[in-house]
Amino acid sequence: MDAEQIQFTVGTQQAGSRLDRFVADCIPDLSRSYAQQLIADNHIRVNGRDARPSLVLQPGDSVTVVRPLPQPTDLLAEDLPLAVVYEDADVVVIDKPAGLVVHPAPGHSSGTLVNALLGRYPDMAISGDIRPGIVHRLDRDTSGLIVIARNDRAKDDLQEQQRQRTMRKAYLALIEGRFKEPEGLIDAPIARLPSDRKRMGVVHGGREARTHWRVLEELGAFQLIEARLETGRTHQIRVHLAFKSRPVVGDPLYGPKKARATFGLARQFLHAYQLGLRLPSGGWRDFESPLPEDLRVALEKARRLAL
Protein backbone atom coordinates (compact mmCIF):
# COMPACT_ATOMS: atom_id res chain seq x y z
CA MET A 1 0.00 0.00 0.00
CA ASP A 2 1.39 3.41 -0.98
CA ALA A 3 1.34 5.68 2.06
CA GLU A 4 3.07 8.60 3.74
CA GLN A 5 4.06 8.57 7.41
CA ILE A 6 3.73 11.72 9.50
CA GLN A 7 4.80 12.06 13.12
CA PHE A 8 3.75 14.64 15.70
CA THR A 9 4.71 15.31 19.30
CA VAL A 10 1.95 16.62 21.54
CA GLY A 11 2.81 20.01 23.06
CA THR A 12 1.56 21.44 26.33
CA GLN A 13 -1.09 23.56 24.58
CA GLN A 14 -2.41 20.52 22.69
CA ALA A 15 -2.55 18.28 25.75
CA GLY A 16 -6.09 17.27 26.70
CA SER A 17 -7.23 17.04 23.08
CA ARG A 18 -8.92 13.93 21.76
CA LEU A 19 -6.78 11.97 19.33
CA ASP A 20 -9.15 12.35 16.36
CA ARG A 21 -9.44 16.12 16.84
CA PHE A 22 -5.68 16.49 17.32
CA VAL A 23 -4.93 14.70 14.03
CA ALA A 24 -7.57 16.70 12.11
CA ASP A 25 -6.12 19.95 13.52
CA CYS A 26 -2.55 18.97 12.59
CA ILE A 27 -3.33 17.92 9.00
CA PRO A 28 -5.35 20.73 7.39
CA ASP A 29 -6.95 18.74 4.55
CA LEU A 30 -7.93 15.77 6.72
CA SER A 31 -11.36 15.77 8.36
CA ARG A 32 -12.16 14.48 11.80
CA SER A 33 -14.38 11.74 10.37
CA TYR A 34 -11.55 10.52 8.12
CA ALA A 35 -9.16 10.65 11.09
CA GLN A 36 -11.58 8.36 12.93
CA GLN A 37 -11.59 6.02 9.95
CA LEU A 38 -7.77 5.92 9.93
CA ILE A 39 -7.72 5.20 13.67
CA ALA A 40 -10.21 2.35 13.22
CA ASP A 41 -7.96 0.91 10.49
CA ASN A 42 -4.94 1.11 12.86
CA HIS A 43 -3.21 3.71 10.69
CA ILE A 44 -2.79 6.07 13.66
CA ARG A 45 -0.80 5.03 16.72
CA VAL A 46 0.11 6.79 19.95
CA ASN A 47 3.48 5.96 21.48
CA GLY A 48 3.66 2.96 19.17
CA ARG A 49 0.31 1.53 20.28
CA ASP A 50 -3.13 1.34 18.72
CA ALA A 51 -5.59 3.84 20.21
CA ARG A 52 -9.20 4.95 20.24
CA PRO A 53 -10.44 8.22 18.69
CA SER A 54 -11.46 9.43 22.17
CA LEU A 55 -8.00 8.96 23.69
CA VAL A 56 -7.02 12.11 25.61
CA LEU A 57 -3.47 13.07 24.71
CA GLN A 58 -0.76 14.00 27.19
CA PRO A 59 2.27 16.31 26.73
CA GLY A 60 5.09 14.51 24.97
CA ASP A 61 2.89 11.80 23.42
CA SER A 62 4.15 10.66 20.01
CA VAL A 63 1.41 10.38 17.38
CA THR A 64 2.24 8.54 14.17
CA VAL A 65 -0.11 8.83 11.19
CA VAL A 66 0.31 6.41 8.30
CA ARG A 67 -1.81 8.09 5.66
CA PRO A 68 -2.62 6.03 2.55
CA LEU A 69 -2.07 8.00 -0.63
CA PRO A 70 -5.23 8.60 -2.66
CA GLN A 71 -6.01 5.54 -4.73
CA PRO A 72 -7.49 5.76 -8.21
CA THR A 73 -11.04 4.55 -8.71
CA ASP A 74 -12.61 2.98 -11.76
CA LEU A 75 -14.24 6.31 -12.58
CA LEU A 76 -13.09 7.76 -15.87
CA ALA A 77 -11.63 11.26 -15.91
CA GLU A 78 -12.97 13.10 -18.97
CA ASP A 79 -12.21 16.44 -20.55
CA LEU A 80 -15.75 17.81 -20.64
CA PRO A 81 -16.80 21.47 -20.62
CA LEU A 82 -17.79 22.88 -17.23
CA ALA A 83 -19.32 26.25 -16.42
CA VAL A 84 -17.28 27.09 -13.31
CA VAL A 85 -18.88 29.92 -11.34
CA TYR A 86 -16.40 29.84 -8.45
CA GLU A 87 -13.45 27.74 -7.34
CA ASP A 88 -10.88 27.72 -4.54
CA ALA A 89 -8.78 25.06 -2.81
CA ASP A 90 -11.85 23.72 -0.96
CA VAL A 91 -14.90 23.97 -3.21
CA VAL A 92 -16.06 24.48 -6.76
CA VAL A 93 -19.46 25.88 -7.78
CA ILE A 94 -20.75 24.69 -11.15
CA ASP A 95 -23.64 25.97 -13.27
CA LYS A 96 -24.92 22.58 -14.46
CA PRO A 97 -26.74 22.41 -17.79
CA ALA A 98 -29.87 20.34 -18.25
CA GLY A 99 -29.15 16.82 -19.51
CA LEU A 100 -25.95 16.39 -17.49
CA VAL A 101 -26.12 13.53 -14.97
CA VAL A 102 -24.34 14.36 -11.70
CA HIS A 103 -22.94 10.95 -10.75
CA PRO A 104 -22.18 7.75 -12.70
CA ALA A 105 -24.92 5.15 -12.40
CA PRO A 106 -26.15 2.18 -14.42
CA GLY A 107 -26.64 3.51 -17.94
CA HIS A 108 -24.48 6.58 -17.27
CA SER A 109 -20.94 5.35 -16.61
CA SER A 110 -19.37 8.31 -18.41
CA GLY A 111 -20.17 11.82 -19.53
CA THR A 112 -21.30 12.84 -16.04
CA LEU A 113 -20.44 15.83 -13.87
CA VAL A 114 -18.20 13.59 -11.75
CA ASN A 115 -16.25 12.44 -14.82
CA ALA A 116 -15.77 16.07 -15.82
CA LEU A 117 -14.65 17.08 -12.33
CA LEU A 118 -12.06 14.30 -12.25
CA GLY A 119 -10.74 15.55 -15.58
CA ARG A 120 -10.46 19.16 -14.42
CA TYR A 121 -9.26 18.49 -10.85
CA PRO A 122 -7.06 15.36 -10.90
CA ASP A 123 -5.88 16.02 -7.34
CA MET A 124 -9.39 15.97 -5.87
CA ALA A 125 -9.40 13.40 -3.05
CA ILE A 126 -12.13 12.48 -0.58
CA SER A 127 -11.71 9.84 2.16
CA GLY A 128 -8.61 8.36 0.55
CA ASP A 129 -10.09 7.98 -2.92
CA ILE A 130 -9.55 10.17 -5.95
CA ARG A 131 -13.15 11.30 -6.33
CA PRO A 132 -15.12 14.50 -5.92
CA GLY A 133 -17.24 15.28 -2.88
CA ILE A 134 -20.83 15.46 -4.07
CA VAL A 135 -22.81 16.90 -1.15
CA HIS A 136 -26.11 17.57 -2.95
CA ARG A 137 -27.53 16.69 -6.35
CA LEU A 138 -29.59 18.09 -9.17
CA ASP A 139 -31.79 15.91 -11.34
CA ARG A 140 -30.44 15.24 -14.82
CA ASP A 141 -32.87 17.67 -16.46
CA THR A 142 -32.74 20.31 -13.75
CA SER A 143 -30.24 23.06 -14.53
CA GLY A 144 -28.41 25.41 -12.21
CA LEU A 145 -25.98 25.77 -9.35
CA ILE A 146 -24.32 22.91 -7.48
CA VAL A 147 -21.38 23.01 -5.04
CA ILE A 148 -18.77 20.24 -4.79
CA ALA A 149 -16.17 19.70 -2.06
CA ARG A 150 -12.56 19.23 -3.14
CA ASN A 151 -11.30 17.69 0.10
CA ASP A 152 -12.54 15.90 3.22
CA ARG A 153 -12.62 18.92 5.48
CA ALA A 154 -14.64 20.94 2.98
CA LYS A 155 -17.08 18.04 2.53
CA ASP A 156 -17.64 17.79 6.28
CA ASP A 157 -18.15 21.57 6.46
CA LEU A 158 -20.70 21.64 3.62
CA GLN A 159 -22.57 18.62 4.97
CA GLU A 160 -22.77 20.28 8.39
CA GLN A 161 -24.24 23.41 6.76
CA GLN A 162 -26.86 21.21 5.15
CA ARG A 163 -27.64 19.45 8.45
CA GLN A 164 -27.99 22.84 10.14
CA ARG A 165 -30.09 24.03 7.17
CA THR A 166 -28.02 27.18 6.76
CA MET A 167 -27.15 26.62 3.08
CA ARG A 168 -29.54 28.55 0.83
CA LYS A 169 -30.83 26.76 -2.26
CA ALA A 170 -33.54 28.46 -4.30
CA TYR A 171 -35.13 27.40 -7.59
CA LEU A 172 -37.28 28.97 -10.27
CA ALA A 173 -40.23 26.85 -11.40
CA LEU A 174 -43.02 27.47 -13.87
CA ILE A 175 -46.07 25.64 -12.57
CA GLU A 176 -49.42 24.64 -14.02
CA GLY A 177 -52.25 25.93 -11.86
CA ARG A 178 -52.24 28.77 -9.38
CA PHE A 179 -51.67 29.14 -5.67
CA LYS A 180 -54.20 31.50 -4.10
CA GLU A 181 -51.76 32.77 -1.48
CA PRO A 182 -48.65 34.78 -2.38
CA GLU A 183 -46.39 32.39 -0.46
CA GLY A 184 -46.50 29.29 1.68
CA LEU A 185 -44.87 26.13 2.98
CA ILE A 186 -45.36 22.54 1.85
CA ASP A 187 -44.57 20.25 4.76
CA ALA A 188 -45.14 16.66 3.67
CA PRO A 189 -42.96 13.53 4.13
CA ILE A 190 -41.40 11.97 1.04
CA ALA A 191 -40.40 8.38 0.30
CA ARG A 192 -40.04 6.07 -2.69
CA LEU A 193 -43.40 4.72 -3.86
CA PRO A 194 -43.77 0.97 -3.18
CA SER A 195 -45.81 0.63 -6.40
CA ASP A 196 -43.23 2.39 -8.61
CA ARG A 197 -39.62 2.44 -7.41
CA LYS A 198 -38.67 5.08 -9.99
CA ARG A 199 -41.01 7.62 -8.44
CA MET A 200 -41.02 9.44 -5.14
CA GLY A 201 -44.20 10.53 -3.43
CA VAL A 202 -45.76 11.99 -0.32
CA VAL A 203 -45.92 8.94 1.92
CA HIS A 204 -46.95 8.63 5.56
CA GLY A 205 -43.86 7.71 7.52
CA GLY A 206 -41.52 9.05 4.83
CA ARG A 207 -38.60 11.39 5.49
CA GLU A 208 -39.35 14.94 6.61
CA ALA A 209 -39.53 17.31 3.63
CA ARG A 210 -40.21 21.05 3.69
CA THR A 211 -40.42 23.36 0.67
CA HIS A 212 -41.05 27.11 0.94
CA TRP A 213 -42.55 28.81 -2.10
CA ARG A 214 -43.55 32.29 -3.19
CA VAL A 215 -45.23 33.55 -6.34
CA LEU A 216 -43.03 35.75 -8.50
CA GLU A 217 -45.27 36.27 -11.54
CA GLU A 218 -48.90 35.57 -12.49
CA LEU A 219 -49.21 34.08 -15.98
CA GLY A 220 -52.88 33.28 -16.50
CA ALA A 221 -53.33 29.57 -15.75
CA PHE A 222 -49.64 29.35 -14.80
CA GLN A 223 -47.34 30.92 -12.22
CA LEU A 224 -43.63 31.51 -12.00
CA ILE A 225 -42.59 30.71 -8.45
CA GLU A 226 -39.48 30.58 -6.31
CA ALA A 227 -39.09 27.32 -4.37
CA ARG A 228 -36.63 27.27 -1.50
CA LEU A 229 -35.50 23.99 0.00
CA GLU A 230 -35.37 23.54 3.75
CA THR A 231 -34.66 19.83 3.31
CA GLY A 232 -33.15 18.05 0.30
CA ARG A 233 -35.09 14.92 -0.60
CA THR A 234 -34.96 13.27 -4.02
CA HIS A 235 -37.24 15.11 -6.49
CA GLN A 236 -38.56 17.14 -3.53
CA ILE A 237 -39.80 20.25 -5.35
CA ARG A 238 -41.36 18.26 -8.18
CA VAL A 239 -43.08 15.86 -5.76
CA HIS A 240 -44.36 18.58 -3.45
CA LEU A 241 -45.76 20.73 -6.25
CA ALA A 242 -47.47 17.73 -7.87
CA PHE A 243 -48.89 16.80 -4.45
CA LYS A 244 -50.47 20.27 -4.32
CA SER A 245 -51.82 19.83 -7.88
CA ARG A 246 -49.43 22.51 -9.10
CA PRO A 247 -47.00 20.40 -11.18
CA VAL A 248 -43.88 21.81 -12.77
CA VAL A 249 -44.44 22.55 -16.45
CA GLY A 250 -42.83 19.92 -18.68
CA ASP A 251 -42.26 17.41 -15.88
CA PRO A 252 -42.35 13.97 -17.57
CA LEU A 253 -42.49 12.02 -14.30
CA TYR A 254 -44.82 13.97 -12.01
CA GLY A 255 -46.70 16.19 -14.45
CA PRO A 256 -50.23 15.54 -15.75
CA LYS A 257 -50.71 13.15 -18.66
CA LYS A 258 -52.46 15.93 -20.55
CA ALA A 259 -50.63 19.15 -19.77
CA ARG A 260 -52.22 22.48 -20.63
CA ALA A 261 -48.98 23.52 -22.32
CA THR A 262 -45.26 22.73 -22.30
CA PHE A 263 -44.21 25.88 -24.20
CA GLY A 264 -41.89 23.83 -26.39
CA LEU A 265 -39.86 22.43 -23.48
CA ALA A 266 -38.20 19.02 -23.66
CA ARG A 267 -37.70 18.94 -19.86
CA GLN A 268 -39.18 20.32 -16.65
CA PHE A 269 -39.05 24.06 -16.02
CA LEU A 270 -36.90 23.90 -12.90
CA HIS A 271 -33.69 25.86 -12.43
CA ALA A 272 -31.45 26.14 -9.33
CA TYR A 273 -30.88 29.87 -9.66
CA GLN A 274 -29.55 30.84 -6.23
CA LEU A 275 -27.00 29.22 -3.94
CA GLY A 276 -25.71 30.72 -0.71
CA LEU A 277 -23.15 29.12 1.58
CA ARG A 278 -20.37 29.76 4.05
CA LEU A 279 -17.06 28.99 2.40
CA PRO A 280 -14.95 26.49 4.37
CA SER A 281 -12.13 29.06 4.18
CA GLY A 282 -14.42 31.65 5.77
CA GLY A 283 -17.04 34.18 4.69
CA TRP A 284 -20.53 33.89 3.22
CA ARG A 285 -20.95 33.86 -0.57
CA ASP A 286 -24.08 34.14 -2.71
CA PHE A 287 -24.18 32.86 -6.28
CA GLU A 288 -26.86 33.35 -8.94
CA SER A 289 -27.46 31.72 -12.31
CA PRO A 290 -29.61 33.26 -15.07
CA LEU A 291 -32.30 31.23 -16.79
CA PRO A 292 -30.87 29.09 -19.58
CA GLU A 293 -32.07 29.77 -23.10
CA ASP A 294 -34.73 27.03 -23.30
CA LEU A 295 -36.40 28.17 -20.07
CA ARG A 296 -36.13 31.84 -21.03
CA VAL A 297 -37.89 31.16 -24.35
CA ALA A 298 -40.59 29.08 -22.62
CA LEU A 299 -41.22 31.85 -20.09
CA GLU A 300 -41.64 34.42 -22.86
CA LYS A 301 -44.19 32.11 -24.54
CA ALA A 302 -46.08 31.81 -21.25
CA ARG A 303 -46.09 35.58 -20.90
CA ARG A 304 -47.47 36.10 -24.40
CA LEU A 305 -50.19 33.50 -23.77
CA ALA A 306 -51.20 35.28 -20.57
CA LEU A 307 -51.75 38.64 -22.32
Residues identified as active-site: 139
How many Å apart are CA 241 and CA 215, to the nearest integer?
13
* Residue 204 CB coordination number (10 Å): 7
Amino acid making up residue 275: L
Give the span between the Cα atoms of 259 and 174, in whole angstroms. Answer: 13
CA dihedral 130, 134, 137, 143 (to 10 degrees): -70
On whether the CB atoms of residues 141 and 254 are closer than 8 A, the answer is no
Start-to-end CA span in the chain (Å):
68
- Using alpha carbons, list the distances in angstroms from residue 116 to 87, 96, 103, 120, 200: 15, 11, 10, 6, 28
Residues with Cβ within 8 Å of residue 194, at least 6 apart in sequence:
none
d(CA 100, CA 103): 9
